[in-house]
Structure 1
Amino acid sequence: MPSNTNEQQPSAPLSAENRFRQAFERLKFGDTVVLKSGTPVTQNNVAREAGCDPSALKKSRFPALIREIQAYIELHPNNDEPLNQSARKKLSANRSAKERLKDAILQRDHAQSALTSANMRIIELTEEVQSLQRRLDDVIPPPKRV
């Protein structure tokens, strides 16, 4: 019978500290249940992985666990951060390139519009010159060539 009571104990509710510790272990090994796999180990992520609000994992309540998490973070710096920074720089560079392209397209469209307007004005003025030349020819005939 004692073995039956031992088997029932794992199904008993875990203490908050045990939930946080299990979440911490899952994060360290990348076997997360709540968060995406590969999520970095942080105090807030340990609480989230345990299914709690990040404010639930307080230093005043769990000082030893918090020290373990902080020690782990110091010993295992997150190498993804520089990649995230470079990715952000590339994204902002791409964004500025996209903005520059958009500006160039607007400038091109404006220039095409101005060119089309200028061509229309040239055609109008050419027709006006021809009309005036005909009227002038009617009043003063052009000299005849011999």
Structure 2
Amino acid sequence: MGHEGVREKARNDLRARFTALLHHITPALLVESFHALRHNAAAGVDGRTWREYETMLAQRVPILHREIHAGAYRAQPSRRVYIPKADGKLRPLGIAAIEDKIVQQAVVTVLTAIYEADFLGFSYGFRPGRSQHDALDALSMGIKGRMSTAI
């Protein structure tokens, strides 16, 4: 059962408990996760850009997969930088290595398949394919709908 199977199980059986998920982190999911990253992002803490890593993807994915499943994978320490905000304060930003981003994206994909089933239709925060603009559009439609029924 891939992450789509996990999604179906979570949707159809609300009492299901997912206790073993590591086997869902497959080489195919790692490749999919790599392609989901921003292609034009700045280099990670390891100095590698998306384009540079793409040239070694076929060689690195099996090794990365093996390290994850053997418990040997260790994320590299992120580099902390501070970006100035308009109000003069500084916003902390962590710069991760590209392989760490790939693993993080793969884990997000598996966990999203499970937890997305628990969200209500009007929930917009930090959900795939939904933004604050979508929430405002839904709110606007709800208000207009109530106003038209009140008239």
| TM-score over 0.5 for the pair | no
TM range (shorter): under 0.3
Q: Which has the higher contact order (CA 8 A, sep 6+)?
A: 2
Query: Rg larger in 1 or in 2?
Result: 1
Q: Which has the higher helix share?
A: 1
Q: Which has the higher strand share?
A: 2
TM value normalised by structure 1: 0.23
